[in-house]
Amino acid sequence: MKFKKIILIIIIFLSFLGIGSMLSNVQSREANQLLEAYGLSNNTRYIEVKNNQEVRTFLTYLKKRYPHNKIQVHMTSKAKKNQTLVWSNHNVLKLPTESGRYFTKDDFKGQVSFAVLGLNAKVPTLKAQGNEYVYINQKYYTVIGTLKHYRQMKQNGYYLTASPKQPTGKFKLRDYQIIIDSSNKVIQQIAKHYGVKAKTPVFVKNHQIHQFSIIREILFILIFLLIASASNIILAFMDWKTVQQTNLKGSLLHNWLINHGIRILLVELVVTFGAYFFLISRKFVSKPQHLIWLLMTSWVIISIFYALSILHLLRKEKNNAKTA
């Protein structure tokens, strides 16, 4: 009997993992849309380095340490919120432009820094001999393109290429939040090298989930919830069968059912939190509060099914006693 109960508890745990995974799928899909708007993938994480190292030292380290790994770096300025430095050792995802073009791999190799502007970029520019330049700190950056409108992105931002040989390479690393797009292994190694922790980018965490009600995911959530509820109904019947074998009556019967029911529900509450922490560590979740809300709601629902099943069996016994 105990073995069967353990199996049912495991089924409930797996059902909760399934419910959380469906939410993760929805949030990952939405996050992917946002990340693609930045030319990044879902593997993106960020670190913050507080030493006095220059950007070029950091990029030189990446080139020497990971010559065969695909890495793309966006460094967002802490002081100039609309400035982002971009570096990559491979061809980046080409973002649609209103005019000109986006960066290519070759733009990160030379000594000249290039700029791509948001549609409403707030940065000093000037035109000379038919070309447009960004002018910052007495340095000129050739504008090669202007991005099309993206509702997910701030329109007043501008992007500069970064390279050990370019003027942007002399910027201080501590002045930037470093967003890295690569394999999880590479990102963790880079973070360990600098003694910092890799985290999910702010723009992903703050991204609004606009399409939670995805039909396929909702259907699967309901199916997993039904499986967990059915398991709890079976648990209620097993507990009832156990108490019948004890021949308890009256208040003793009620107390046993209440005490045992509370223990079962507390165990399932622990299972709920176990599923939450497992999913947080293994799945992409941009809004953890949505996950805990969904799992706790699921726990309340299956608890209600357990309680209703016990009440149904109690009433059935009372009716049988009256007719006897």
Burial pattern 161-174, b for ≥16 Cβ within 10 A else e, equals: bbbbebbbbebebe
Task: Give the per-residue pLDDT at 208.
Answer: 38
**Tens-digit pLDDT profile for residues 234-273:** 998 888 787 777 766 667 777 777 888 888 899 999 999 9
pTM comes to: 0.56
**Tens-digit pLDDT profile for residues 267-297:** 999 999 999 999 988 776 767 888 999 999 9
Q: Where are the beta strands (DSSP E) in the chain?
A: 45-47, 72-77, 83-88, 97-100, 114-117, 125-128, 131-136, 139-147, 158-161, 176-181
Question: Which residue carries 């039909």 as its tokens?
Answer: 215
CA distance 44 to 201: 7
CA distance 308 to 214: 30
Tell whether the model's pLDDT for residue 182 goes beyond 50.
yes
Percent of the chain whose predicted confidence (pLDDT) is above 90: 44
Domain ranges of the chain: 2-30+210-323, 45-199
Task: Give the per-residue pLDDT at 312.
Answer: 86
Task: Give the per-residue pLDDT at 203.
Answer: 56
**Tens-digit pLDDT profile for residues 28-78:** 665 555 555 566 776 788 899 988 899 999 999 999 999 999 999 999 999
Through-space distance between the first and last CA atoms of the chain, rounded to whole angstroms = 30
